[in-house]
Structure 1
């Protein structure tokens, strides 16, 4: 059996991290793994466990003007030509896409070349690139169960795996939650995804100015802030006497999440999966204005499970955040309940489930036969 699996991911770390998790499991099972991505996402792939990195041309649809559409079509067309050449050279057993427009050229090339294909949809709604590919692939692995229940044709391809967790998250997933003591320190982690989120730098310092000084003295804050926001945020915390560690990006974010007693963040699929697996309570602020409203769907799933407080960005004000911080600090049992609910929603073996599906297709199996083998698990 051909032992080479080509993974395709791009855009942000949110696409690459689950691909990295799958790669680790596949390599442990004896497969060779290559990665196809674009130049923008390649910068996140420094530690990706791939035999070889293939950079293909791709572009996001940035507007509806003829010029913008022509630029996107040209980039994707160029990537498709390169992808077809890549299929002839590599002859992979399966190609697996993790969303984002950089996955379109290699997945289409694989489909045209007769190579089995899988897309993994990590969000609570299917993204545009995956929707574009869904009709051509053999299987659609999903991070949330029942994602495609409204589409009979696509639901026949659906296999619920959960969202694969990167090794760094799995390494700390077993650490117990430490409930804050009534007058003890409260460790709060604030971040906004791999690109950062300015709203966190705007709202969190202003909220801490409004909380009781006694609570402010208890806070041990770790916050991601963009380079251009760093100085003003640091100055605000120094003025308020808040113990804070700031950085534009944390390489060890899963470990910092595990150490936190409350997380304030965006609600990308990877973030929600890791909060669930670690069992950490959170205040989630979905990215507004997204066409697919994927972060809103992700946050809603964890919020309805009791593991998070969901605040749409218009409600994420200094006054509201100050009130919520005071409420949680005075009732730590609320945080403990949220932590338990989040953990109950976690899926620790998602990468293994996805690797099972990929291996089944690599061996000549079908999605239907895999679903029959897995039974209720899918």
Structure 2
């Protein structure tokens, strides 16, 4: 019908790590006049409430774990059902292109797009290519990477690679290159601690021991903002309440980019979206990669950020509260080191990532005539 906006389908699993960059691309494509549909899994109800799509299609998917052979047939059949459903939807809505953001929820839509002759792209947020994307790279038209070096990219897919960076949402771009807050020995020291559900649990246990090991002089100017799980809130609040310092504890921060911009230093996990937002806003971080993460992707993300001079890696297994408190104290009183790391973080960031990925999507959409 004349006047209809061209359609792009985005495929992303229902976790923040996959949905946030997909949301950033959706926001940019909508500004360019495209209609957006989202293909995802059931978890979108928790993470995708603000996703700017005119339609959301929940498609069956499953993780193929070869370490659990008894589960493989059932999960493979679920993926096949998802493929059949995705193929039917794509054949009906006729998108110009399909962009997947990793995880097995991307598997049925990208495979269906390949079979239907619809141009497609898989975007990998991490420095190590995810297992689903590795398999999908043989079917996709292009592979987009957040990092200049993408580990695990199959040899036959290297000619498809385009480095775009990891798109960040508009709410983060609003804080782009925010001026680093003034920090002298007498001024408040703003420390932000967060890490998703698993990170919040660990930091909820570890940080009270760290804070208890700080000197009275350090506590006098400390302002701590920390994500704490609801079930841990009373215990952490009680531990901090026995000390004399300023703190703000919440289970979830809707305005996390503003909190990052207001901080002097961040203590966090090293998921891809976290690293991307730290780089765009320009804040240094002490990163504690999630242990036993698949393919060590969080460690590789952290290594890229640290290598740029933007932060420091502290493996969880090696953390000790008193030593960590001493490290925080050193950074707090050597303000030039933090300000310099903030500058290096900006150099690592790619604020134009959503625009670059949108350019690639438009290029693919232009190759699809029907």
State whether TM-score is above 0.5: yes
Q: Sort the Cα spacing of 1:114 and 1:2 in 2 relative to 1 into closer, same or farther, 3 A.
A: farther
Q: Is 1:46 aligned to 2:49, yes or no?
A: yes
Give 1:213-232 correspondences, 5 Å limit: 213-232=216-235
**Cα RMSD between the aligned structures?**
1.7
Q: Sort the Cα spacing of 1:147 and 1:63 in 2 relative to 1 into closer, same or farther, 3 A.
A: closer
Whether the 8 Å contact between 2:199 and 2:290 is mirrored in structure 1 is no
Q: Which residue of 1 aligns with 2:109?
A: 106
Q: Sort the Cα spacing of 1:344 and 1:252 in 2 relative to 1 into closer, same or farther, 3 A.
A: same
Query: How does the TM-score come out when normalised to structure 1?
Result: 0.93
Q: Is 1:187 aligned to 2:190, yes or no?
A: yes
Q: Is 1:125 aligned to 2:136, yes or no?
A: no
How far, CA to CA, are the matches of 1:180 and 1:100 in structure 2?
A: 41
Q: Is 1:143 aligned to 2:146, yes or no?
A: yes
How far, CA to CA, are the matches of 2:48 and 2:194 in structure 1?
A: 21
Shift of 1:135: 0.9
Specify which of 149, 173, 177 is matched with residue 176 of structure 2: 173
Give 1:280-359 correspondences, 5 Å limit: 280-359=283-362
Unpaired stretches in structure 2, ≥5 consecutive residues: none
Whether the 8 Å contact between 1:8 and 1:37 is mirrored in structure 2 is yes
Q: Sort the Cα spacing of 1:171 and 1:194 in 2 relative to 1 into closer, same or farther, 3 A.
A: farther
Q: What do residues 134-183 of structure 1 show as CA deviations (whole Å, max 9, x unaligned)?
A: 11111000000132597542220000000101000001113201142112
Q: What do residues 346-377 of structure 1 show as CA deviations (whole Å, max 9, x unaligned)?
A: 11110000010110111118xxxxxxxxxxxx
Specify which of 239, 255, 261 is matched with residue 252 of structure 1: 255
Aligned residue pair count: 365
How far, CA to CA, are the matches of 1:150 and 1:162 in structure 2?
A: 16
Whether the 8 Å contact between 2:227 and 2:251 is mirrored in structure 1 is yes
Q: Which residue of 2 aligns with 1:372?
A: none
Shift of 1:110: 0.9
Query: How does the TM-score come out when normalised to structure 2?
Result: 0.95
Unpaired stretches in structure 1, ≥5 consecutive residues: 366-378
SS at 1:292 equivalent: helix
Give 1:21-100 correspondences, 5 Å limit: 21-61=24-64, 64-100=67-103
How far, CA to CA, are the matches of 1:250 and 1:119 in structure 2?
A: 29
Whether the 8 Å contact between 1:179 and 1:335 is mirrored in structure 2 is no
SS at 2:37 equivalent: strand
